[in-house]
């Protein structure tokens, strides 16, 4: 066994990096904030891995240190507002003739009774027995605080998240089944000889009998996650990209950039289980989802995109508790002013 000389020991000590007092104090503050977050158990769903991470103090301390981000220069800070469309207060179906139907009313409208539409228990279903001579489009609009299901004439099942619109024909006619989406929806597409396409923000998703989630964000990005089957993603001026299960295609509408990566699909579909679930998600994107669900607006700054959030929270949690939770997790303050939140 080699014996270390006094000189060897001194050289080893010289190579050890000792953090400054300021670094230790900053990390301690962040660690204390993480511990306070653990105490907020009410309506918070913890996974076993999250608890284990909190118990392993050394690991938590190290991860907080590694993910610390540099402060952005003041000149680069730009204010943006995450807004909600408040035109409709309840799920609404706009029929081909322009008439609209409040889907929360218990009494069935006579207009619907005369058509091929059945409505019950937050679900619209279309009768496929009719043979349409021309295409008649309906538009389903889902405001803040709601989700809704629709079974299209070909048997395709769609679930729409809050803040979404789906335009579709009462019956598919011709060689192509085509719908237009704004917002977020989960599709379970029925296999058919007719290709199925989803149009969203100028891009097209060609479906070959499959299950997938697609989300168009306010920040002009489209995120498509394939759960099962096969899809092709087509953006303007580019060849179609083939996607396999477990992959996400992220398309930036402004720049045209496309990123394909493996993801954990449970995070993309957590909203179907009435849960906000994120792992290392940009705070700006989390706030967009919260805005869409609760119908509130946030005034944010660009540097918030550098803050990453991991959480698992029921969507039944009151908005005040959600805000408190986010303040406990981050360095941010949420100031309520004239009906919206200013994030600092």
The pLDDT tens digits for 263-304 are 999 999 999 999 999 999 999 999 999 999 999 999 988 678
The reported pLDDT for the residue numbered 24 is 44
Q: Is the pLDDT of residue 83 over 60?
A: no
The reported pLDDT for the residue numbered 120 is 84
Whether the model clears a pTM of 0.85, i.e. scores above it, the answer is no
Average pLDDT on 128-147 reads 84
Token match 């943006």: residue? 80
Phi-psi region of 155 (alpha: psi -120 to 50; beta: other; left: phi over 0): left
Of 182, 242, 238, the closest CA to residue 206 belongs to: 242
- State the burial class of residue 166 (Cβ atoms within 10 Å of its Cβ: 0-12, 13-18, 19+): buried
Percent of the chain's residues with pLDDT above 90: 55
The reported pLDDT for the residue numbered 62 is 28
Q: Is the pLDDT of residue 236 over 70?
A: yes
The reported pLDDT for the residue numbered 6 is 60
Q: Is the pLDDT of residue 110 over 50?
A: no
Residue 117 binned pLDDT confidence (cut-offs 50, 70, 90) = confident
Domain residue extents for the chain: 20-68+274-343, 92-267
Q: Is the pLDDT of residue 240 over 60?
A: yes
User: Can you name the CATH fold of 20-68+274-343?
Assistant: Phage tail protein beta-alpha-beta fold (3.55.50)
The reported pLDDT for the residue numbered 81 is 59
Of 132 and 1, the one with more pLDDT: 132
- What is the rounded CA–CA span in Å between residue 252 and residue 265? 20
Longest dimension (CA), the chain: 95
Taking the domain 92-267, which CATH number applies? 2.60.120.1440
- What is the rounded CA–CA span in Å between residue 283 and residue 300? 10
Of 205, 170, 162, the closest CA to residue 187 belongs to: 205
The reported pLDDT for the residue numbered 115 is 66
Of 219 and 170, the one with more pLDDT: 170
* Cβ 147 vs Cβ 186: under 8 Å: no
What does the pLDDT look like over 25-75, one tens digit per residue? 554 444 444 444 433 333 333 333 443 333 333 333 323 332 434 444 443
- Could you give phi then psi for residue 189, rounded to 5 degrees? -90, 130
Q: How many residues does the chain have?
A: 344
Of 276, 247, 264, 217, the closest CA to residue 83 belongs to: 217
As a dihedral over the C-alpha atoms of residue 313, residue 316, residue 320, residue 322, rounded to 10 degrees, the angle is: 10
The reported pLDDT for the residue numbered 338 is 83
C-alpha pair distances (Å), 66 with each of 56, 70, 72: 16, 11, 17
The reported pLDDT for the residue numbered 190 is 94
Mean pLDDT score of the chain: 79
Tell me the pairing of strands 196-200 and 177-182: parallel
- What is the rounded CA–CA span in Å between residue 166 and residue 155? 16
Residue 143 binned pLDDT confidence (cut-offs 50, 70, 90) = very high
Side-chain half-sphere exposure of 45, counting CA atoms within 13 A = 13
The reported pLDDT for the residue numbered 106 is 58
The reported pLDDT for the residue numbered 177 is 95
Token pair in block for residue 182: 């704004």
Q: Which of 5-9, 27-31, 104-108, 324-328 has the highest mean pLDDT?
A: 324-328
* Cβ 170 vs Cβ 132: under 8 Å: yes
The reported pLDDT for the residue numbered 39 is 36
Q: Is the pLDDT of residue 136 over 60?
A: yes
The reported pLDDT for the residue numbered 275 is 97
Residue 209 binned pLDDT confidence (cut-offs 50, 70, 90) = confident
Residue 86 binned pLDDT confidence (cut-offs 50, 70, 90) = low
Residue 10 binned pLDDT confidence (cut-offs 50, 70, 90) = low
Tell me the pairing of strands 117-119 and 148-151: unpaired
DSSP character string of 262-311: E--HHHHSGGGGTEEEEEEEEHHHHHHHHHHHHT-EEEEEGGGGG-EEEE
The reported pLDDT for the residue numbered 311 is 93
* Cβ 344 vs Cβ 316: under 8 Å: no
């Amino acid at each position: 066994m080699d014996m270390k000389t006094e000189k060897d020991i001194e050289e080893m000590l010289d190579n050890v990096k000792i953090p400054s007092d300021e670094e230790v104090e900053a990390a301690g503050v962040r660690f204390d904030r993480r511990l306070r977050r653990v105490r907020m158990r009410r309506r918070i769903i913890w996974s076993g891995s999250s608890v284990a991470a909190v118990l392993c103090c050394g690991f938590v301390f190290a991860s907080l240190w590694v993910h610390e981000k540099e402060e952005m220069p003041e000149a680069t800070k730009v204010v943006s507002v995450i807004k909600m469309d408040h035109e409709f207060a309840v799920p609404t179906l706009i029929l081909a003739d322009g008439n609209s139907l409040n889907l929360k009313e218990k009494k069935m409208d006579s207009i619907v009774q005369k058509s091929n539409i059945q409505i019950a228990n937050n679900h619209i279903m279309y009768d496929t027995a009719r043979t349409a001579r021309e295409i008649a489009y309906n538009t389903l609009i889902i405001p803040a605080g709601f989700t809704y299901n629709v079974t299209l004439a070909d048997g395709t099942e769609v679930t729409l998240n809050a803040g979404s619109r789906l335009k579709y024909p009462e019956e598919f006619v011709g060689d192509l089944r085509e719908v237009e989406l704004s917002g977020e929806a989960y599709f379970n597409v029925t296999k058919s000889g007719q290709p199925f396409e989803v149009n969203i923000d100028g891009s097209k998703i060609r479906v070959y009998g499959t299950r997938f989630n697609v989300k168009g964000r306010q920040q002009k990005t489209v995120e498509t996650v394939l759960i099962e089957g096969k899809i092709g993603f087509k953006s303007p001026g580019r060849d179609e990209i083939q996607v396999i299960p477990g992959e996400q295609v992220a398309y930036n509408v402004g720049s045209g950039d496309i990123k394909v990566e493996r993801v954990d699909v449970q995070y993309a579909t957590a909203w179907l289980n009435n849960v906000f679930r994120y792992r290392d998600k940009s705070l700006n994107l989390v706030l967009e989802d919260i805005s869409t669900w609760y119908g509130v607006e946030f005034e944010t700054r660009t540097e918030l995109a550098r803050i990453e959030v991991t959480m698992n929270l029921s969507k039944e949690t009151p908005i005040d508790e959600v805000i408190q939770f986010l303040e406990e997790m981050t360095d941010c303050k949420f100031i309520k002013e004239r009906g919206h939140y200013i994030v600092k």
